[in-house]
Structure 1
Amino acid sequence: MNLTILGCYAATPRTLTNPTSQVLEIKNRMFLIDCGEGTQVQLRKNKVRFSKINHVFISHLHGDHVYGLIGLISTFSLLNRKTDLHIHGPKGVKELILIQLKLTASWTSFDLYFHELEGKESQVVYEDDKVIVSTIPLQHRVYTNGYLFKEKPGERKLNLGKVEEYGIETCYYQKIKNGSDITLDDGRVIPNALMTFDPPAPQSYAFCSDTIYKEDIIPIIKDVNVLYHESTFLDSEEHLCEKTMHSTAKQAATIAKQANVKQLVLGHFSTRYDSIEPFKEQAQTVFENVHLADDGKIFEF
């Protein structure tokens, strides 16, 4: 599971920082999460192949999370893309994109599918044989969702020594990897646990941006491997959280601790600060395993 941060700062782009966008690679799937201004430039800088992006997940319709989407879609057409593109996001994202395409006469060379969201409870928005993606209802100034990406359990691993010891034919190997017991010719039943090893534990990633401190997301993100949580402000500006509907680094760390996550990645930093190091310092007073996102940073989990 790899995470590439394309942008992780709040509000406006600057010469050296970009608004929110990131790429998650999980089980050989590549998902684009949010698409702030400049996303396609950042994709090129980080050598992310455009053709591997088939699903885009938009958290909310504030500009610093979505203004890069029309440019990316237009570039896909200029590159003569043929593969379907799926956009998952709040109701209104379809109108936002289609009106821009219409007024600029920029129709796509590929099929564009919109999966608009209105629900206030967590719901599955994408699923295949390897990964399942659910919403994390957040509380911001507009309708907002985070997203929870979870690997499905993999096949069990054969214990070849035991399988050969029992003289089991290779035609049964897939059945064993799928979890079945085996009955031998003499009637003995060999439990699956004796012939296999547990598969690697499924990994999970929770993306939470933007939101005020919201404890009712804790059951949804309980025990995830990695939590990305917005941390717009330091403690000194906590008084701005209620007005702007954002969180502090320490509040993000409190969510991480209560949800028993393994690692916390902080992002969506206000550009009012000269350094992001204090975000980590303040968060670590509550939760130890803290990382700072930064543009171009790649995490391998």
Structure 2
Amino acid sequence: MEKFELHILGCGSALPTTRHFSTSQVLNVREKLFMIDCGEGTQIQLRKTRLKFSRLNHVFISHLHGDHCFGLLGLISTFGLLGRTADLHVHAPKGAEQLFAPMLEFFCNHLPYNVFFREFETNEPKMIYADRSLTVTTIPLRHRLPCCGFLFKEKQRPNHIIREMVDFYKVPVYELNRIKNGADYVTPEGEVVPNAKLTRPAAPARSYAYCSDTIYMEQIVDQIKGVDLLFHEATFAQADLPRAKETFHTTAEQAGRIALAAGVKQLVIGHFSARYEDESVLLKEASAVFPHTILAKEMLCVDI
């Protein structure tokens, strides 16, 4: 099966600690790299993964708080120093270009490549990227400023041809695309050969949902229902629920409730508050509601 991997580069929240880097992730889809958020230290962490910088052409920024975007300028500058020539597309909420354009003009005014800001609204789901194998749709969230998550979904691939059966029935080459897409084959004698005899199903399409930062929102459940992997922020423990509400964040228990209601296959929690020196309390709370929960940590790679 081709790659669909999540790499955690940083899983801390706004206050820096020696334990965690600021939020950033990379999704590797068939060797195409998609960055999700870009906090301080992201480019250092990216180097540690040994993923190829040249395969990263799209960066998705959830919102314009510094712990999710302060690393972007440095990353863009480093790409220039490396002699990058391919375009870089930054997908971010409205206002990102106005914020970053002056800094790029000052610090990166002789880049050998183009940076394009693809801005979007955050009040309703919108498909903001698509290629032959993948779509990316925004997930509206509620935070202290416009914010959204992202739903990455593979497109279902056509069925696989069973070569021995195609040869047995002498199927012409020009019929193969129709058969891959579910059509039966009719022989010159009029015999109908069912598609199930000629093909086997492709592997199910995979999906990943990223939700950070947000207050507890049951409204997202329908959109993320059944995803293979959900990353949901779990900034606070339930004992700090008043602080979570005040800062528009989620507790670990609430993240577990979202995963349970959505019927996801696995939950990763992250965006940990600096107040917790041992995040096992957060894992315990989320796992009590949704057992298939793991803690995010730097350099964690999850095969989806």
TM-score by length of 2: 0.95
Q: Is the 8 A contact 2:184 2:193 kept in 1?
A: yes
Instruction: Flag structure 1 segments of 5+ consecutive residues without an equivalent.
Output: none
Whole-Å separation in 2 of the counterparts to 1:51 and 1:161: 40
**Residue 92 of structure 2 corresponds to residue 89 of structure 1:** yes
In structure 2, C-alpha distance between the alignment counterparts of 1:28 and 1:48, rounded to whole Å = 9
Unaligned runs of 5+ in 2: none
What is the SS of the residue equivalent to 1:41?
helix
Counterpart of 2:208 (choices 205, 222, 234) is 205
1:251 match: 254
**CA shift for structure 1 position 171:** 4.8
Q: 1:151 aligns with which of 145, 148, 154?
A: 154
Other-structure match for 1:260:
263
Counterpart residue identity of residue 194, structure 1: K
| Preserved contact between residue 12 and residue 18 of structure 1 (Cα < 8 Å) | no
Please tell me whether the aligned partners of residues 27 and 131 of structure 1 are also in contact (alpha carbons under 8 angstroms): no
How do residues 224-243 of structure 1 correspond to structure 2 at under 5 angstroms? 224-243=227-246
The residue that corresponds to 2:299 in the other structure is 296
- The 5 Å alignment of 1:270-281 reads 270-281=273-284
* Candidates 12, 15, 18, aligned match of 1:12: 15
Distance verdict in 2 for CA 1:119–1:211, change over 3 Å: closer
Partners of 2:110 and 2:124 in 1: how far apart?
34
Pick from 121, 126, 143: which aligns with 2:124?
121
Alignment of 1:165-184 (within 5 A): 165-184=168-187
User: Quick check: 223-232 or 106-115, which moved more?
Assistant: 106-115
Q: Offset of 1:248 from its aligned partner? A: 0.5
Range moving further from structure 2, 223-232 or 188-197: 188-197
Deviations 1:101-124 (A, max 9, x none): 223353321111111112411010
- DSSP 3-state at the match of 1:285: helix
User: In structure 2, how many angstroms separate the alpha carbons of the residues matched to 1:31 and 1:159?
Assistant: 33
**Distance in 2 between residues matched to 1:116 and 1:74, nearest whole Å:** 21
SS in 2 for 1:284: helix
Q: Is the 8 A contact 2:122 2:146 kept in 1?
A: no
Structure 1: how far apart are the matches of 2:245 and 2:163?
59
**SS of match in other structure, 1:44:** helix
SS of structure 2 residue aligned to 1:217: helix
* Percent of aligned pairs with the same amino acid: 45
- From 142, 146, 156, the equivalent of 2:145 is 142
Matches for 1:104-119 after TM superposition, within 5 Å: 104=107, 106-119=109-122
**Does 2:70 correspond to 1:67?**
yes
**What secondary structure sits across from 1:97 in the alignment?**
helix
- Residue 94 to residue 153, structure 1, CA distance change in 2 (3 Å): same
In the alignment, the residues of structure 1 paired with residue 87 and residue 28 of structure 2 have an alpha-carbon distance, to the nearest angstrom, of: 19
Equivalents in 2 of 1:72, 1:132: separation in Å? 24
Amino acid aligned to 2:215: I
Deviation, 1:159, is 2.4
User: Cα distance, 1:68 vs. partner?
Assistant: 0.1
Aligned pair count reads 301
CA distance in 2, matches of 1:13, 1:107: 31
TM, length-normalised to structure 1:
0.96
User: How far apart, in 2, do the equivalents of 1:151 and 1:164 lie?
Assistant: 30
Query: Contact (CA 8 Å) 2:77, 2:108: kept in 1 or not?
Result: no
Q: Distance in 2 between matches of 1:83 and 1:167?
A: 45
Alpha-carbon distance change, 278 to 105 in structure 1, aligned in 2, over 3 angstroms? closer
1:196 equivalenced with 2:199 (yes/no): yes
In 1, the alpha carbon distance for the partners of 2:129 and 2:62 equals 14
Root-mean-square deviation (CA, aligned residues, Å) is: 1.4
Which SS does the other structure have where 2:275 is aligned? coil
Shift of 1:193: 2.2
Work out the CA distance in 1 between the residues paired with 2:106 and 2:197.
64
Is the Cα–Cα contact under 8 Å of residues 182 and 190 in structure 1 kept in the other structure? yes
Residue identity in the other structure for 2:274 = T
Say if 1:105 and 1:157 are closer, same or farther in 2 by CA, change over 3 A. closer
